[in-house]
Amino acid sequence: MSSKEETHQRLKAAVHYTVGLLCQRTGENHQTEFSRQVIAAIAETTFRQCDTFAKDLEAFARHAKRSTISTEDVKLAARRSTALSRFIQNKYEELNHEQRDLKKKNTGKRKNRDTEENRE
Amino acid sequence: MAEKDADIGFKKDMVSKLLSSFFREDKTKISGDAVLLMAEMLKIFVEEAAVRSLKQAESEDCDQVDIEHFEKILPQLLLDF
């Protein structure tokens, strides 16, 4: 097996694991069970969907003359469903708020340290 | 930090490696924030697949979600994404 295939095998297994957990939780919430075959099928489909996503994202970035995929490219990949676009937009804003709060915390700490040093 | 065991999802490192493995060009990279958003999108994809399959099974009065239920909802799922 080539190393690329080995990587894909490992990644497939990791995807399968998370898919299994998500299906298990969904099943528990509805008092139903997912068969092992259907979990494997969902995992395989998710893995293949990643291929589509990855190539789309790469194409979007290249179209914008960038070599690094950005959040704008992800938002574009979510364009087909309004609900999905809105969800991704919300997550994007959550991310930005977290980063802004972190920056405020750090500048706040620095300001306090300065005033303490002045008092001494 | 307390661990929320209800927060199942795709790990950032894994998503990054996964997407990178499919890029056509070596120079293509993905930003950290984009990886986080993609992890969310994959999670939704799986949850949609699971819930739609489950609803299909329920509409057929089956007490287990099987591959035939997933097969029926798969075309629309792919179109929606």
Per-residue model confidence as pLDDT tens digits over B40-51: 999 999 999 999
**Test mutation, B8, B65, B68, B78, chain A, max A CBs within 10 A:** B65
- From the list B17, B37, B66, which residue is nearest A74 (CB)? B37
Rounded to whole angstroms, the Cα distance separating A31 from A27 reads 6
Percent of chain A with pLDDT over 70: 88
Predicted local confidence at residue A117, as pLDDT? 54
A4: chain B residues, CB-CB within 8 Å: 21
Best mutation target among A3, A6, A31, A34 (most B Cβ atoms within 10 Å) is A34
pLDDT confidence of A103, banded at 50, 70, 90?
confident
In A66-95, the residues whose Cβ lies within 8 Å of chain B are 67-71, 73-75, 77-78, 80-81, 84, 87-88, 91-92, 95
3 state DSSP class of B65 = strand
Q: What is the pLDDT of residues A31-67, one digit of tens each?
A: 999 999 999 999 999 999 999 999 999 999 999 999 9
CA–CA distance, A48 with A100 (Å, rounded to integer): 35
In order of A21, A86, B38, B40, the CA distances from A78 in angstroms are: 24, 9, 10, 11
Give the whole-angstrom CA distance, residue A19 versus residue A7.
18
Q: Nearest C-alpha of chain A: how many angstroms from B77? A: 11
Cβ-defined contact of A71 to B79 (cutoff 8 Å): no
Contact A84 B44 (CB under 8 A): yes
Alpha-helical regions (H) of A1-120: 3-29, 36-63, 71-77, 82-119
Interface TM-score (ipTM) > 0.95? no
